[in-house]
Structure 1
Amino acid sequence: MVTKVQVKGMQEFDEFYKGIDPKGPPVLFYFTGAKLPTGKSWCSDCNDAEPIVEAYLTEVKKSLIFVYVDVGDRETFKKTDCPFRTDSRTRIMVIPTIIRWKGVQRLEGEQCCKRELLQMLLEDEEE
């Protein structure tokens, strides 16, 4: 069963990150652009990936936490000093990006639209 969590901005990300139970289910962070009033992100790649990611999550049978992280508006994210770009835990250069907590695995940009890569990332067991 997938537990979905939404956080907005670096402060909420940091608060959630500090509270992760290392003995709990795997945690994946999904970094996307802020939603516009239309309900779509300003990031076209995020809009392309979202239905594929959502569809795949409905098929996941194991327990995991999937955290949607809103990186802000386009202007905020594009700044070189954006905290999501500079923080050693994230180092996000493109969105969407999915990162497995406590791992090196990540999917970036168009990779998030590839079902087989999502499957490998979500089903990979790190022990």
Structure 2
Amino acid sequence: MVVHHEADGYEGFCKFVETLPKGDLPNPYIFLFTGSILENGQSWCPDCVEADPVIEAALKNASEDVNFVKITVGNREVWKDSNCPFRKDSRTKLMVIPTLIRWKGPQKLEGEKCAKEELVEMMFQEFDD
């Protein structure tokens, strides 16, 4: 079963990353950076809303040892600020949301690619980094 984690905002992201083992990770961590959730239960980001069902479907077929980490980047105003810390952090270098990153690996999907079933499924496949 996939292990789910969540963190809210940049501070939450930093605190979560501090808890990760140093060096090689024993299991893969896939980070999803997405817009905050509105009262209607969906993100303010339309691309994130479109990608959600594709990502959820891929999680159902993912390897049992995958850690899935959902990070909310904030509301639209926070995200659109050119000084948003997610944009400046060398660990994330976010340009768009949604973004899927395989932590400590080269794999990264951005924007509309996060709604492409075959690409998202590849993110969750087991393979040597």
In which range does the TM-score fall when normalised by the shorter chain? over 0.9
- 1:1-127 equivalences under 5 Å are 1-21=1-21, 22-127=24-129
For 2:102, the aligned partner's letter is: R
Deviation at 1:88, TM superposition (A): 0.3
Can you list the C-alpha shifts for 1:31-87, whole angstroms capped at 9, x where unaligned? 000011111110000000001100110111331100000000000000110000000
The Cα RMSD (Å) is 1.2
TM-aligned CA deviation for residue 122 of structure 1: 1.6
Q: If the length of structure 1 is used for normalisation, what is the TM-score?
A: 0.94
- Check whether the contact 2:63–2:126 (CA below 8 A) recurs between aligned residues: no
Q: Is the 8 A contact 2:35 2:43 kept in 1?
A: yes
Could you tell me which runs of 5 or more consecutive residues in structure 1 were left unpaired when the two chains were aligned: none
Q: Percent identity?
A: 45
Residues 75-104 of structure 1 show CA distances to partners (whole Å, capped at 9, x for unaligned) of 000011000000000011100000111012
After TM superposition, the runs of 4+ consecutive aligned structure 1 residues lying more than 3 A away are none
Q: Secondary structure at the match of 2:30?
A: strand
Partner of 1:104: helix, strand, or coil?
coil
Distance 1:62 1:78 in 2: 35
- What is the rounded CA distance, in whole Å, between the counterparts of 1:42 and 1:10 in structure 2? 17
List runs of 5+ in structure 2 lacking aligned partners. Answer: none
Distance 2:125 2:7 in 1: 23
Give the letter aligned to residue 38 of structure 2: L
Residue identity opposite 1:121 in structure 2: M
Shift of 1:124: 4.9
Alignment TM-score, normalising by the size of structure 2: 0.93
**Is the Cα contact below 8 Å between 2:63 and 2:125 reproduced in 1?**
no
SS at match of 2:109: strand
Report how many aligned residue pairs link the two structures: 127
The one-letter code of the counterpart of 2:90 is S
Instruction: Name the stretch that deviates more: 63-72 or 23-32.
Output: 23-32
